[in-house]
Amino acid sequence: MTTVDNLLLDIINRHNDYARLQLTKRDYDILNNLYTSIKSHFFITENQSRLLLKILKENQEKLSIISEQITDAITEPAWSRKFRQIEQVKKLYVNNDEHQNPVLTVEFTFSSQIRKVLTDVSKKCDNWSSAPNNKKCWTDYTEKNIITLVDALAPLKFDIDDTVKNHYDTIKSWSKTDVENQFLLTNIEHRNFITAITNDLGVTTAIDQNIINDRSMRYQYFTENPKNFGENLTEIIANRSKTKIWIGKEDYSLSSIIASLVELKRLPILVVFDNFVNDKYLKNLEMLNDALEENGIFDSVGVYFRLPNDETGTPFNELIKAKSYNVQLDETTKVAAVMSGKIPKFFLKNPWKPMSVIALDTKMGLRHGKTAVYSNCCDLVVEWADKEVLFENKVVGKWR
d(C-alpha 115, C-alpha 136), whole Å: 11
- The residue out of 173, 191, 222 marking a domain boundary is 173
122 CB-near residues (< 8 Å, 6+ apart)? 128, 130, 137, 139
Domain membership of residue 400 (yes or no) is: no
- Rounded Cα distance between 302 and 326, Å, is 5
Domain containing 167 equals 90-173
Q: What is residue 228's predicted lDDT score, i.e. its pLDDT?
A: 59
Do 163 and 182 lie in a common domain?
A: no
Question: Is residue 66 domain-shared with residue 190, that is, in the same domain?
Answer: no
Reported pTM: 0.57
Answer yes or no: do 167 and 195 share one domain.
Answer: no
In a domain, 40, yes or no: yes
Same-domain status, 253 and 227: no
Residue 368 lies in a domain: yes
Alpha-carbon distance 91 to 161, whole Å?
A: 8
DSSP assignment string, 257-300: HHHHHHHTT--SEEEEE-TT-GGGHHHHHHHHHHHHHHTT--SS
**Alpha carbons 145 and 150: distance in angstroms, whole number:** 8
The one-letter amino acid at 78? A
Based on the fold, state whether residues 295 and 376 are members of the same structural domain.
yes
pLDDT value at residue 377: 84
Q: Residue 392 domain-assigned?
A: no
- Which residues make beta-bridge pairs with 356? 269
Query: Same domain, yes or no, for 299 and 376?
Result: yes
In a domain, 67, yes or no: yes
**What order of strands is seen across the sheet that includes strand 136-140?**
129-130, 136-140, 102-108, 90-96, 159-160
CATH number at residue 346: 3.40.50
- Please enumerate in sequence order all residues whose Cβ is within 8 A of that of 90, keeping only pairs 6 or more positions apart, or say none: 107, 108, 109, 114, 153, 156, 157, 158, 159
The secondary structure element, H or E, covering residue 106 is strand 102-108
- The segments of the chain whose pLDDT lies below 70 read 1, 183, 185-194, 196-199, 201-207, 224-230, 276-278, 362-368, 389-400
Tell me whether strands 244-248 and 102-108 are parallel, antiparallel or unpaired: unpaired
Element (H, E) at 357: strand 356-360
Q: In terms of domains, do 244 and 381 share one?
A: yes
Tell me the torsion sign for CA atoms 363, 367, 370, 373: positive
Q: Which of 231, 262, 277 marks a domain boundary?
A: 231
In this predicted structure, what is the pLDDT of residue 73? 87
The reply to whether 83 falls in a domain is no
- Based on the fold, state whether residues 278 and 372 are members of the same structural domain: yes
* Integer Cα distance of 400 and 394 in angstroms: 16
Do 222 and 244 belong to one domain?
A: no
The continuous run of DSSP H or E covering 302 comes out as strand 301-303
Position 205 scores a pLDDT of 59
Output the pLDDT for position 397.
38
Per the CB < 8 A criterion, the answer to whether 147 and 171 are in contact is: yes
- From the number of C-beta atoms within 10 Å of its C-beta (0-12, 13-18, 19+), residue 232 rates as middle
What's the rounded Cα separation, in Å, for the pair 263 and 144?
32
Q: How many domains does the chain have?
A: 4
Same domain, 269 and 157: no
Q: Are residues 192 and 139 in the same domain?
A: no
CATH of the domain at 145: 3.30.780
What is the rounded CA–CA span in Å between residue 2 and residue 77? 9
End of a domain among 128, 145, 173? 173
Alpha-carbon distances, residue 219 vs 34, 185, 321 (angstroms): 60, 10, 38
| Residue 295: inside a domain | yes
Distance CA 387, CA 186 (A): 39
Helices 143-153 and 112-122: angle between axes, nearest 10 degrees? 160
> What pLDDT is attached to residue 395?
37
| 43 phi-psi bin (left φ>0, alpha ψ -120 to 50, beta other) | left
Q: At what angle do helices 209-219 and 191-201 cross, to 10 degrees?
A: 120
Query: For residue 302, which of 335, 342, 266 has the smallest C-alpha distance?
Result: 335
Q: Measure the CA–CA gap between 10 and 15, rounded to whole angstroms.
A: 7
Q: Are residues 186 and 281 in the same domain?
A: no
